Amino acid sequence: MQTIDALATQLTQYLDQNQVDHVVRAFEFAEVAHEGQFRKSGEPYINHPLAVAAILAEMRMDHQCLMAALLHDVIEDTGVPKHQIGSEFDKEVAELVDGVSKLSSMFHSRAEAQAENFQKMTLAMAKDIRVILVKLADRLHNMRTLGYLAPEKRRRIAKETLEIYAPIALRLGMNQIRVEFEELGFRALYPLRSSMIEKAVRRARGNRKEVVGKILKSIEACLDRDQLGAEVFGREKHLYSIYDKMRAKRRSFTEIMDVYAFRIIVDDVDTCYRTLGAVHNLYKPVAGRFKDYIAIPKANGYQSLHTTLFGMHGLPIEIQIRTHEMEEFANRGIAGHWLYKSQDTAASPGHKRAREWMQGLLELQQSAGNSLEFIENVKIDLFPDEVYIFSPMGEIYELPQGSTAIDFAYAVHTDIGNSCVACRIDRRLAPLSTALESGQTVEIIRASGALPNPAWLSFIVTGKARSGIRNALKEQQLNESIILGRRLIDRALATLNRRLDLVSESAMTSVVERAKLTHFDDLLAEIGLGNQMASVVARRLVEDQPGTPEHSTGDAQGPLSIKGTEGLVVNYARCCRPIPGDPIIGHLSAGRGIVIHLESCKNMSELREKPEEMMAVRWEDQLDQEFAVELRAELEHEKGLIAVLASTITGADANIDRISIIERDAHLATVNLVINVSDRVHLARVIRKIRHIHNINKILRVRS
């Protein structure tokens, strides 16, 4: 059991005596605060913060970080306020403790509570990276003592550790902690699978010992000949990594264990590349399996050369080559190289990348709709297999596997993503949905006034892009819903012979407060989105308004004009796909605004039962938009007929949105088309041209 005296002795190795005294005083304060509290194991509660501080002492963290570790549960568990910690010690320690403290408020669900907690922690992390280091050490000790908890709670904590804390440790380059998280989490979440793999590894280890020894000796002899002065040792595969590879790559245990892994540690970067040449001369390299993470480090600052070789008897050998500093950083990450107060000191690449990631988290947090959406976006970013993309200026951006030009645009800047209209990949125009590959140069083409397309959400990968698109669409929808809400309230007031500009401020304020909103624009947005009925709001606005204004606007009582440019708050029903020229009717749908249907649409019979949700609408006289319409054609099979059909439609200035073919028998087929036309006259012209095609038996418009 760790004691404060043992910890103090350990700290004197790298802290001065005054700083050690501060740490001891923090322990004494925490010991008094936690007096009478015990853990599930029955031991005094103070043992937990002491163990957390000991973990951080092994990382050689500074005295403020160690003080925060000793005090990290004081605010939540003992009722000691933050300002008391600030006055007793200092504000920086108080901020660290507050950042680590869990939220004690109640939330709607456990998932939301965890998400809120993580969101709060992220804000504190962005200010000071030490917050996450204390949190990781706290979670590590909890995982080490998980056996005292009930099975259900044990599994929940293990799952959260594997899903969030292990990837964060990896993102920050802290490999030792990440591996321990994964091993402990795997054992708690899947005890049977863990024990089976452990037994299999133990058996395999005995069989592999001789082969590993032979390969090790041959590599050492080769490096000695070239006088490279390297250390070589075999790498043990961890249980969770074996399980993860078996599951992800659908391989058997034997296939995973057939790969022999070695690490070579050298003195400098130059020797890394010379060592690579030596091992490639010793055994033949596997094509396409070499990765240079020294020239282009991973997102967490990790640097190493990776190569796979064909060893003796064709056995695959994985080799990692790195310097002593790279090895240290690979294991301890930013815990080994951090920068707090001194902005003059040059930060390590890993620390800079960690700070950039924290800043990215802060941007995500500010733009996310709620904490659950935020944590979903963060989880996406925590599991990247990176691709490295170049900007036209030669800057390198790390993106997850499968990222598109849209993801790249948002990685550069949110405004660039929002105004993106096209892209060039390696100087050639390419679809925005193209998955990027490492080494490509991507140029984003922008247009002023452009807005994100909702369809982008179906192919983007990064959390930042998803959050940026959703945020821009919410903003767009809000603006459009306010404009539509104003039009609807104007019409509703006109039926009461009133006008909005003559309604008093007090009446507006009263109605807004009654709706439990803040501003009148919020109320207009709710009306535009269909969450509030314009007629009801109009009646409330005029309840306390005496008399009738001189200017009655009875002409506004006619149908609402549909321009086709209303955006996200006016939708066109897919069941009947109305187009200009069709007789139409509007349905107020909560959260979607107005949905436009054909008057003859079969679905309207059910909706008409709620007349308060129905609205008279008409098309504007001049429209400069295209609308989707569905056609069905019956045709006789003939080579090249589909190509003729497509060229006929495009020749009539219509665009094909979607096409599918259903073969009815050897001679006949049905073609379903969704095309874009400007109005009914345009549609009639398209249908007339299609009817002239040889072998088209029938063409009709699908209305419901």
* Residue 527 exposed, middle or buried by CB count within 10 Å (0-12, 13-18, 19+): buried
The one-letter amino acid code at 72 reads H
CA count, 13 A, side-chain hemisphere, 696 = 23
Q: Containing H/E element for 611?
A: none
CA torsion, ordered 275, 281, 284, 286, to nearest 10 deg:
30
| C-alpha distance from residue 481 to each of 418, 471, 484, 500, 666 (Å) | 20, 15, 5, 17, 51
Cα(420)–Cα(426) distance, integer angstroms: 17
Q: Is 76 a catalytic residue?
A: yes
State the DSSP string of 200-229: HHHHHHHHHHHHHHHHHHHHHHHHHHTT--
CA proximity to 337, closest of 686, 684, 61: 61
Among the listed residues 217, 220, 244, the one whose alpha carbon sits nearest the alpha carbon of residue 230: 220
* DSSP category for residue 330: H
Residues 76, 88, 198, 220: which is the catalytic one?
76
- Residue 611 CA, chain-centre distance (Å), reads 42
Contact of 436 with 425, CB cutoff 8 Å? yes
For residue 681 the two structure tokens come to: 């006259």
d(CA 66, CA 72): 10
The Cα–Cα gap between 661 and 698 comes to 15
SS3 416: helix
Look-up: residue for tokens 């009717």? Answer: 585
Residue that the structure tokens 């007339």 belong to: 688
Type and span of the H or E element at 96? helix 91-100
Q: Which of 334, 197, 323, 179 is nearest to 263 (CA)?
A: 323
Residues in the chain: 704
Give 698's strand partners: 634
Q: Give the strands of the sheet with 442-446, arranged side by side.
A: 428-430, 420-425, 442-446
Cα torsion through 414, 417, 423, 426, rounded to 10? 30
555 belongs to the catalytic site? no
Question: How many Å apart are CA 586 and CA 577, to the nearest integer?
Answer: 13
Active-site residue, from 31, 62, 77, 325: 77
Report the catalytic residues: 76-77
